[in-house]
Structure 1
């Protein structure tokens, strides 16, 4: 059923004259007549009777009127549900404990009026596909990966360089160090079971290991951060990397140490991705917030892979 024809029918029923209906809808009187005639053909009944006083509803028209009004209300709700300004901004943060989640929480504190849907997608290809399809509005990612340029309709801006830290147990050889250089890490086993081939973080750590001769292992099943922390705490030969802003909590008895890495400092480059033609007003607000709050957070003496999106 043509919604415009239904809207014209309701307006004509309330006005009682096609001329007044035409003025209200900003169309011609002929267009009003055509819409009403098309609706009558579609339904197979007459809806109006012409009288000297104007247009009066027939019995069928009177029966249709309350349903037509409800149909227009449903149509308006349907349109409102997909209007950018009327739905939450959908943002992928990868995981709840990462710096990206913290960036979005900071945005929410600064702009509590902006409704958010927070999602956790796995890899950059999944995120980019969701951005292009409109399933999400934005994603925090490390881009661009080697040989995988972003599609032309997807924009990106680097918003945060997060220094890496070394996490060790109390018995590790470097546990007492106030900081460690990348050169000092050569020969030590760095265990990161969450690395999955083909992801942007796998590309990042592959580049880091190749550049500085590090041994980064992704062996064994990934049982999550709690199991990783337990193993590092109990195994003097293993350490792991984590971001400076990664929020992890462990029992006090674990005695874990977070040690800054220098010479140079490897930083994980978080970027925001979005579709260029996305009109959601909260997306523009998020981008402006990130630009204002992360602009002066460059890390001096830092390292990123050559393929990373420039600042």
Structure 2
């Protein structure tokens, strides 16, 4: 039986075919948060992005792809997202037990630092269908010299995935030659990144938690003149959700580098209070022991379910 929360969310996707809505519903009804309209997703693409040793030495069992399937299933999460090889390594063993999101592009730390920020396409929509995935996911870097190329890649993936009934998750991470490090998580840049992902056709948008720093002076003046509150994380989440087509798109927030459990729980409370749809939390889960990860993920689920 469809819940009011999920029915409302699905109504936002007015142009989408039944396949896309069915796969969105699969994720929204799966796991311990099923039917609430909230999501907690496990993403494990960091082995490509940062290297396996940086990611998995803190918790060596995490070198095994099956570990991540088991963690997502055991914690009752909404979905598991990863690049092609990791999903292929467990697709048959765990078939039908957790909705899968195929990450179709990736970057790597060995790429020259002076080069423009970009990602390579590493998988296809056909791969997602072959593996029984519920969605495809890809990253864009608003602000990069390669951002226009990435937008066009996103357009092609969104269109192809929609045609075969798959929703798209866009990781929208501002990075660029003229953007300060502090600006990458600035509230005005985060809302801009959210809006760009939404306008590219993303069904689910993944962004980093925004800070109260404002990168652009003209936007800072607009905030002051319009009495736009940005002091608390809840205030900033509300502004992010406005940028997501007035709250008509699902937005989940990145967990980032490993942090203390209490801080992560407080962030989740702010996400919920601000109207966000949940968390997509990788290193903060799989770099802990399985027992500690299960405890943390259980606490996150409790926040969003309460």
TM bin, normalised by shorter chain, reads under 0.3
Rg: which structure is higher? 1
| TM-score using structure 2 length | 0.23
Looking at secondary structure, tell me which structure has more strand per residue: 1
| TM-score using structure 1 length | 0.23
